[in-house]
């Protein structure tokens, strides 16, 4: 009804020793005793399964997909809300502090939100691929093995809308940068080699 707060009330069994009620305006909030599920989460959902008895945990934490190993799930599927992690934010300092208080600059920041989110999606793909490559690089690998195909999967490559920014660079030892092995290249990483791995990701032309 208009003018009234929406209240949701949840009753949870506590191993037969009585009940506990939690209520919060406009939100579902449920607490579960440690003996049941060791969980207290406003994002929990109630799912009574067939065969559950009195005192069983009736609250199940809503689960989102988790990345596989090796990574194969597109990053967009790991964040169903479409909002990607912000990462580290550096604050303005000294002569640039006015950018925080200026209404005009704050409005421009809000207008750039969609672009920032695209950058964050590209950055999350880059982070996951870096983490994976660090775990598998070892002597005996072909120079053609690293990273491009994983990037294409995780970013859901789609022409100019999403994909790699440039061919991955795998520069070895005395080669400083910007060398890419051709298909069929047979160079194998050796124990004392130093390889510089350089790859880029983009969403709608915004890149990491």
Q: What is the pLDDT of residue 56?
A: 52
The CA distance from 10 to 46, in Å, is 9
Q: What is the pLDDT of residue 145?
A: 76
Q: What is the pLDDT of residue 88?
A: 87
Tens of pLDDT, residue by residue over 22-55, are 433 333 333 444 344 444 333 334 444 555 554 5
- Residue 130 Cα distances to 153, 189, 194, angstroms: 14, 18, 16
Please count the helices (runs of H) and the strands (runs of E) in the chain: 5, 9
- Residue 150 Cα distances to 26, 47, 54, angstroms: 42, 36, 47
The DSSP bridge pattern shows strands 59-61 and 195-198 to be unpaired
pLDDT in tens, the chain (208 residues): 444 444 433 334 444 444 444 433 333 333 444 344 444 333 334 444 555 554 554 444 456 789 999 999 999 999 999 999 998 888 889 989 998 889 999 899 899 999 999 999 999 999 999 999 999 999 999 888 778 899 999 999 999 999 999 999 999 999 999 998 888 889 899 999 999 999 999 999 877 7
pTM of the prediction? 0.67
The CA distance from 44 to 59, in Å, is 6
Q: What is the pLDDT of residue 50?
A: 54
Tell me which residue of 124, 118, 129, 111 sits closest to 160, measured CA to CA: 118
- Fold of the domain built from segment(s) 75-207: Creatine Amidinohydrolase (3.90.230)
Q: What is the pLDDT of residue 124?
A: 96
Locate the domains of the chain by residue range.
Answer: 7-61, 75-207
């Amino acid at each position: 009804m208009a003018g009234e707060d929406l209240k949701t009330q949840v009753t949870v069994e506590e191993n037969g020793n009585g009940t506990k009620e939690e209520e919060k305006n406009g939100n579902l909030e449920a607490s579960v005793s440690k003996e049941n599920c060791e969980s207290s989460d406003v994002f929990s959902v109630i799912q009574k399964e067939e065969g559950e008895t009195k005192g069983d945990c009736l609250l199940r934490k809503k689960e989102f997909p988790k990345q596989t190993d090796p990574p194969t799930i597109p990053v967009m599927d790991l964040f169903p809300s479409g909002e990607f992690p912000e990462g580290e934010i550096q604050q303005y300092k000294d002569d640039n502090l006015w950018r925080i208080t200026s209404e005009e600059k704050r409005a421009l920041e809000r207008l750039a939100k969609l672009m920032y989110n695209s950058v964050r999606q590209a950055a999350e793909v880059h982070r996951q691929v870096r983490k994976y490559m660090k775990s598998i690089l070892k002597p005996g690998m072909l120079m053609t093995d690293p990273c491009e195909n994983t990037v294409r999967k995780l970013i859901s490559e789609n022409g100019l809308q999403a994909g790699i920014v440039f061919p991955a660079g795998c520069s070895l030892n005395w080669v400083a940068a910007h060398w890419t092995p051709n298909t069929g290249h047979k160079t194998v990483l050796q124990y004392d080699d130093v390889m510089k791995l350089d790859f880029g990701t983009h969403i709608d032309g915004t890149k990491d």
